[in-house]
Amino acid sequence: MGSLPNPPSSPGLNNDTLLIAIPHPPDPNWIATQASRHPGLKIRWYETERTLGTPPKPLPTDTFDGVTLVCTNWPQLIPPFANPNIRFIQLSSAGADRWVDHPLYKDQNVMFCNASGVHARLLHLPVHDSPGLRAGILGYGAIGRHVARLVSALGMEVYAYTLRPRPTPESRRDNRTYLVPGTGDPDGVIPVKWFHGEEKESLKRFLEEGFDLLVLSLPLTKATESLLSTEQFDILATKGKGKTFIVNVGRGKLIDTQALLEAVRGGKIAGAALDVTDPEPLPEGHELLREERVFVTPHVSWHALEYLDYVNAALQYQPNIYRQFLNIVMDYKNQRLGMLGAIHQVSDFYVMYPVLIQGLIAFFLPELHIACDEEIAENAVSVTGTRQFKEKKYP
C-alpha cells in the first residue's frame, strides 16, 4: 500500500525475503520501487483477513519459508518458531503490547520496529479550535437545544432561529411535556442571539451572521422545503467566507440537493454532514456519495438503545395532560364552563405545552380554535409573566 515506508537502500537486503502480511491488497507501485532499490530482495505479499479487533488465525507455516524480514500487525499470524531465520519485524502499529509474549519478541536476535509517527501525522493537519466559533441552529426544539448544549460546552457561540418570536425569558423556555433529564437548554439561556420568521428576509438576516457551523433541526413543511438553496448558499459564501460546515438532521428536502452540490464544489461552504437526504435513500452512485467533503449516514442519528425508554417515559406524562384537557372539554360541552372560562383554562396549558394543546383545541374545540388562538397570542403572557385577559364577549 502507498503508505508503507521505503526502507533505506542497503546491499544487506539483496539476499533477503520480505513477507508483508497486512489486511490490504498488494501495492504494485510500492513493490516496483523496492525492486529497483533492492534488486535481490524478494517480496512476498499476503493479504490477511480484516478481523475488526479479533486475532486472526496463524498463516500457513510454509508462508514463512526463507523469510527473514516481516511487516505485519498481529503476532498470532506468525506461528511460534515459524522460521529461525527471521531477524527483523516491522509492526504496522505504534503499540507493541500484543507481542510481549511471542517467542520472537523475546529473541534477542530479532529486531522489532513499531510504526510510531505514522498515525501522528493526522494531528499535524491544520485545524480550527472551537472556542469563539459561531454555530447557527435552524430550529430550536429538543434536538436544536441539545446541539446548543454540546457546542457551547466546546466554547462556541450559539445563534438560534425559530418560527415565532421569543422576546422574553418565559417564551424562550422549553415547555415540552417531557424532556430527557440532563439534556438540551430548558431555560433557553444558551443562545447569544435569537432570530425568527418564515420569510426569506428573516432567514437572510440570520445567515448574514456568518457561521462556522450551521445545523438544521426543524420539521419539513411547505414553508421549509428547500429552505437552503442557491440564494442562501451565496449568503454563506460571502458572510461565512466559504468556511461554513452544514449538518442536516431534520429532513432531506430542507436543502436543495443540486444547490448543495454546487455550493460544495464551488467552495461556497466547507462541506456537509447529512443524516437525511433528498432523495432518501440515495440511489447507488449518487453524486452526494462521491463528494469528498460530504458525509452521509442513512438516517440513523435518532437511533439509540435507550430510544424506547425515552418514549415510554414521555407516555407517562402525556395522558395526564390529555385527561385534564378532556375535563375542560366536558365542562364546556356540558355548559358548566363558559367560553371565556374555557379559554382561560386552556391558555394555562398552552403556555406549558403549546404544540400538544394546539392540536387538542383544533380537534375537540373547533368552535374555540380561532378565539383561543387570538386570546392566547394577545394576552396569555405579559412581559412580567403574569397572565392578563381582556373581557370579551363571544357568540
**Looking at the annotation, which residues are catalytic?**
251, 280, 299
Spell out a b/e string for 48-75, using b for 16 or more CB atoms within 10 Å of the CB, else e: beeeeeeebeebeeebbeebbbbbbbbb
Sheet arrangement for strand 271-274: 193-196, 157-162, 134-138, 213-216, 245-248, 271-274, 294-296
What is the C-alpha to C-alpha distance for residues 250 and 216, in angstroms, rounded to an integer?
Answer: 6
Residue among 378, 297, 221 nearest 391 (CA) = 378
Rounded to whole angstroms, the Cα distance separating 190 from 193 reads 9
Q: Which residues pair with 113 in a beta bridge?
A: 90
Q: Where are the alpha helices (DSSP H) in 252-296?
A: 257-265, 287-290
Measured CA to CA, the distance from residue 159 to residue 139 in angstroms comes to 10
